[in-house]
Amino acid sequence: MAEEDPLQKIQNEAILECQKLGLTETEVVTDAAAFVKVPAQMSMLLALPESLRREYVLKILAEFDFSTDTCFACTC
């Protein structure tokens, strides 16, 4: 049985978590891309209490530069 690619695993976790937070489809896709580029962001998300996760994800979205597909606050 082949092991799952670590980036694919992060992306799958990000998608599931963002869907649980009630984000739009566009927000889910954008955040999943950001989490794959900076896996530490996903670790941080999962470490946060559930009550803070939505705010954290929305912060990442606010810092995402759609023209370059990068985050302003990180080195994606």
- Between the alpha carbon of residue 58 and those of residues 1, 5, 15, 31, the distances in Å are 37, 26, 14, 9
As a whole number, mean pLDDT of residues 62-75 equals 64
Does the structure show a pLDDT above 60 at 49?
yes
Q: pLDDT tier at 75 (50, 70, 90 boundaries)?
A: very low
Give pLDDT tens digits for 16-36.
988 999 999 988 888 888 888
